[in-house]
Structure 1
Amino acid sequence: MQIDVIETTGLGDRSYLVSEAGTGIVIDPQRDIDRVQALAAERGVTVTHVLETHVHNDYVTGGLELARVTGAAYLVPAGDDVAYERVPAADGDVHAAGPLRITVLHTPGHTHHHVSYALAGADGEVQAVFTGGSMLYGSTGRTDLLGSQHTDTLTHAQFHSVRRLAAELPAGTAVFPSHGFGSFCAATPTSGTSSTIAEQRSVNPALTQDEQTFVDELIAGLGAYPAYYAHMGPINAAGPAPVDLSTPRAVDAQELATRLAAGEWVVDLRSRTAFAAGHLPGALNFELSASFLTYLGWLYDWDAPLTLIGEDEQQVAEARRELVRIGVDRLAGKAVGTPEELVTDQQPASYPVTDFAGLAAQLAEHPDTVVLDARRDDERVSGGVRGSLHLPIHELRNRIDELPAGEVWVYCGSGYRASIAASLLARAGRRPVLVDRGYGDPDAGSAAVGLHAQPVTR
């Protein structure tokens, strides 16, 4: 049995291809199934089964389309109400896939009908379990995505589901979760990139804590999650349309200017320092990196016209692929080139970039400088720049008016969210200064220059 991991780093998720004797099994595939198809061809396997552990809340599945184009059996949890034909995956069901045997285990918690899949070879010995959003590496899937009225019930269920896996599966069983590699679907930070049932018995809080302690701590630790999650479950239950990775329509400088003047979403994909040095007035900066999809999806007005600006065609194509993973399919257009090439009768706009040493020098000379912390609440509680104001990036658009007039120096945990915040401030007519380092980064210098305060209460 060969197990290939298909990483989707922008979402913090993993899909899997299991290969054995010409048979392929795919678990929790992402929307862009060409990656899976290429890997199956490389392994020389025919995909006979596509397995979903749950109706996903953080991405649009590629499972339905993959099953259609390959003719594979499509297993979806039996309890989920979906609008397409599938093979209901019910607790205790066993499915044959060539020499492999797939056993369905009902593991509610992340969702009510969540299942895990244990895979055994021809000898009947379980070798791997695919746990979706149930047992993660040193953690579990979060339990609040279906609404607060379900959170307590699902958290108790999550505890028992993880315990069931630990009790019923051999110690040496390899564990393969779909979430937990930066995904907001994890209840708490995960640890490691591989594990076994035996290891989880000693490190997973559902297996080391009593039930009420586990429930209390998990619920207390739940923070904000991306707003686009609200759209994922309904899309996946209805059945996603086939993926479209075609190139968006080209937009010229005059049309860009019209869209910017209308306040439309025009997103510049270039690096945050390049954007700060020169950009189209009114454009927003979502640097194409591992954080791009999470934060554009979080802040984006769902179904609003979206135009992309890239350095080259490849950058736009990469962003297009990322966006279809969360169902942003209809792009209003794209433009490629430098700000100087794309601007009309205006000059490119810009704003300063500094670091924490520069911020410290500014505060020493001008202690009334407005400093904005764009991190989440759970990050802020452990400390922040003394005297800074706190507006999480996902709240900033609706709360910019709360900031005092004048220049705003903005920071976050890496510089990425600060760059988004700076572009939002600039679009609103404010004068931002981007602190392009991460607060708390040992090399960032925030503590060394005397900016650190702990705890922060404002």
Structure 2
Amino acid sequence: MIPIETPTLGDRSYLAHDGAVAVVIDPQRDIDRVLTLADEAGVRIIHVFETHIHNDYVTGGLALAQATGAAYHVNAADDVSFERTPIHDGDVVEASATMRLRAIATPGHTYTHLSFALEAAEAPGSDFEAVGVFTGGSLLFGATGRPDLLGHEHTHDLVHHQFASAQRLAQELPEQAHVLPTHGFGSFCSAGSTGDTTASTIGAEKRQNPALTQDEERWVADTLAGLDAYPAYYAHMGPANSAGPGAPDLAPPESADKDTLAARIADGEWVVDLRTRTAFAAGHVTGTLNFGLDGQFATYLGWLIPWGTPLTLLGDSPEQVAEAQRELVRIGIDDLEGAATGGPEEWTDGTLGHFERAVFADLAQVRHHRRVSVLDVRRASEYDGGHIEGAVNIPLHELLSRVSEVPSGEVWVHCAGGYRASIAASVLASHHVPVVAVDDSYDESAASSGLPLAAAAA
């Protein structure tokens, strides 16, 4: 079994094989990664499975099935616009004489969510036993998938379904079976923290997962209380996946020159600088936004960009642009207006913009000498968990629509680690706000810096 990591979206896909044939679960849009792994293993993909209609990325399942001739297994109850092999709770798909998958209905993340128990036999004719379970957005490491992505009106029913589904998996599968989730590695599809765990079993989850250690009433209350904002682009993923997305076009975008870039910025189009926040702060084309490839690039760009806004990319190299393009097609942003590579001096004839970077200790010192405003762009739940006294909280995903609420004068902007602060600083700089980006760890440095902190909200 080979996990296929997509860390910027916080997800995993899986390829499982017996040395000759393979099955794939929840593939991402860029299926060339999967095909390469299968070729390297010398196996033929014959089945592709979806645990659910995904809300955080565009699937590559249909395209992979079409490219390989594999059967494409999607819940029979899902309303989709493409040909699939319908699968139901309890169905068993025989991949080979020693490998099969059994569908287990696990509603909660969606109504039609399925998990798939991976069952193996030591030799043809031997008994099968469950060695793992692909849980999608059901049972995660120390948590579950969130139950609110289909709308508030469904959350109450789905959260109870999610609890029952976790219980079912724990009851039906052996303790040594590996838990193999799709979400839970930084994905906003998780309800609750999955921590830094990278592997788990049913037995381990029975001991540590609140969905298996708490009673239903308490777990439901805790889960609902912990639900937080999720990326706006999620609204477009379900419809795209139900329609049956094709393989992406990863051909390089057209080259954009200085005049073209200037015109696009003037027209209100998005021109995004992919370089690190250090490089961007030191010098950038005025009016560009910084979404560095060293963080959750696609998640935050997809969250902030008004859907359908023309997009041009700026990168150090063609390879950097290609990496960003790959990230973007995973969330359904297929059409780029163009790209430019090199450095900001090659992208404009105008004066470069820049802003200072600092740490929390610098902020503590500055506040003794002059009046500055502090903008906290963490999510509201993070702010409520403790913040700098006097800081204004405008979550990053709300900043574009609330720029008018940013205090006047010099603004020091921070998040939890620096990545979101740089995005916010680029937004403010594009609105001609004098800004300093705090590139520091809030948890590690804010308290020790001497800044006055407000306690967590009761």
Flag whether TM exceeds 0.5 (same fold): yes
- Cα distance in 2 between the residues matched to 1:153 and 1:234: 22
Secondary structure at the aligned position of 1:155 is classed as: helix
Unaligned runs of 5+ in 2: 122-126
Matching residue of 2:328 = 323
Q: Which residue is 1:376 aligned to?
A: 379
User: Does the 8 Å CA contact 1:383/1:452 hold for their aligned counterparts?
Assistant: no
**Among 75, 86, 89, the residue aligned to 2:87:** 89
Question: Contact conserved, 2:138 with 2:181, CA < 8 A, in 1?
Answer: yes
Q: Report sequence identity in percent.
A: 55
Aligned counterpart, 2:151:
147
1:34-73 → structure 2 map (5 Å cutoff): 34-73=32-71
Question: How much does 1:438 deviate?
Answer: 2.1
User: Alpha-carbon deviation of 1:290?
Assistant: 3.2
Residue 387, structure 1, aligned to residue 390, structure 2: yes
Q: Match of 1:238?
A: 243
The answer to whether the 8 A contact 1:188-1:218 is kept is yes
Residue 302 (1) aligns with residue 300 (2): no
Cα distance, 1:447 vs structure 2: 1.1
RMSD between aligned residues: 1.0
The CA distance in 2 between the partners of 1:241 and 1:7, in whole Å, is 21
- Which residue is 1:7 aligned to? 5
Shift of 1:219: 0.6
| Residue type at the aligned position of 2:104 | L
Query: What is the distance in 2 between the residues matched to 1:315 and 1:144?
Result: 35
Equivalent of 1:280 in 279, 285, 288: 285
Q: Which amino acid aligns with 2:380?
A: D
Q: Deviations over 1:397-444 (max 9, x none)?
A: 11111122111110000101100110100111211111111211x2xx
Correspondence 1:163 to 2:167 = yes
**1:9/1:290 contact within 8 Å kept:** no
* Aligned counterpart for 1:354 among listed residues 358, 367, 376: 358
Partner residue of 1:439? Answer: 442
CA contact (8 A) 1:138 1:190 kept: yes
Partner deviation per Cα, 1:377-403 (whole Å, 9 max, x = no partner): 111111111211110000111111112
Partner of 2:141: 137
Whether 2:347 is the aligned partner of 1:342: answer yes
> What does residue 201 of structure 1 align with?
206
1:341-385 C-alpha deviation (Å, 9 max, x unpaired): 1112x111111111111111111112x311100100111111111
**After superposition, what is the alpha-carbon deviation per residue over 1:250-309, rounded to whole angstroms, capped at 9, x for unaligned?**
000110011111121000001111111111010001111231111101001111100000
- TM-score, length-scaled by structure 2: 0.97
Match of 2:194 in 1: 190
Q: What is the alpha-carbon distance in structure 2 between the residues aligned to residue 385 and residue 160 of structure 1?
A: 41
Deviation at 1:220, TM superposition (A): 0.6
User: Is 1:400 aligned to residue 387 of structure 2?
Assistant: no
Q: Specify every segment of 5 or more residues in structure 1 that has no aligned partner in the other structure, as ranges.
A: none
Aligned counterparts of 2:186 and 2:168: Cα–Cα separation in 1: 25
TM-score calculated relative to the size of structure 1: 0.97
1:452 Cα deviation (Å)? 4.5
Deviation at residue 315 of structure 1 after TM alignment: 0.5
Q: Give SS of 1:378's match.
A: helix
Q: Is the 8 A contact 1:21 1:98 kept in 2?
A: no
Question: Structure 2 counterpart of 1:46, which letter?
Answer: R
Contact 1:60–1:326 (CA under 8 A) maintained in structure 2: yes
Aligned-residue offset at 1:340: 1.1
In the TM superposition, 1:120-131 aligns within 5 A as 120-122=119-121, 123-131=127-135
Contact 2:31 2:247 in 1 (8 A): no
The residue number in structure 1 matching 2:106 is 107
| 1:218 counterpart residue number | 223
Q: CA separation in 1, counterparts of 2:269 and 2:401?
A: 16
Give the corresponding residue for 1:18: 16
Conserved in 2, the CA contact under 8 Å of 1:30 and 1:63? yes
> Segments of 4+ in structure 1 off by > 4 A?
none
Q: Which aligned pairs between 1:420-435 and structure 2 lie closer than 5 A? A: 420-435=423-438
Q: Which residue identity lines up with residue 428 of structure 2 in the other structure?
A: L
Tell me the distance in 2 between the aligned counterparts of 1:283 and 1:170.
Answer: 53
CA distance in 1, matches of 2:326, 2:193: 26
Q: For 1:258, what is the secondary structure of its paired residue?
A: helix
Query: Which of 286, 294, 299 is 1:289 aligned to?
Result: 294
Residue 370 of structure 1 contacts residue 388 of structure 1 at CA under 8 Å; is this kept in 2? yes
Query: Secondary structure of 1:410's partner?
Result: strand
Aligned partners of 2:295 and 2:419 also within 8 Å:
no
- Post-superposition shift, 1:21? 3.6
Q: Which residue of the partner structure matches residue 119 of structure 1?
A: 118
Give the whole-Å Cα distance in 2 for the aligned partners of 1:237 and 1:328.
17
Q: What secondary structure sits across from 1:116 in the alignment? A: strand
- 8 Å CA contact 1:19–1:45 kept in 2: the answer is yes
- Is the Cα–Cα contact under 8 Å of residues 263 and 282 in structure 1 kept in the other structure? no
Check the 8 A contact 1:127/1:172 in 2, yes or no. yes
C-alpha contact 2:19 2:41 (8 A) present in aligned 1? no
Within 2, Cα distance between the matches of 1:406 and 1:39? 53
Aligned equivalent of 2:264: 259
| Matched residue type, 2:273 | D
Query: Aligned equivalents of 1:195 and 1:404: distance in 2?
Result: 46
Deviation at 1:456, TM superposition (A): 5.8
Q: 1-side partners of 2:448 and 2:215: how far apart?
A: 41
Which one-letter code corresponds to 2:433 in the other structure?
A: R
Helix, strand or coil for the counterpart of 1:405?
coil
Which one-letter code corresponds to 1:291 in the other structure? Q
- Tell me the secondary structure at the aligned position of residue 136 of structure 1: coil
Residue 130 of structure 1 and its aligned partner are, at CA, apart by: 0.4
For residue 124 of structure 2, what is the aligned residue in structure 1? none
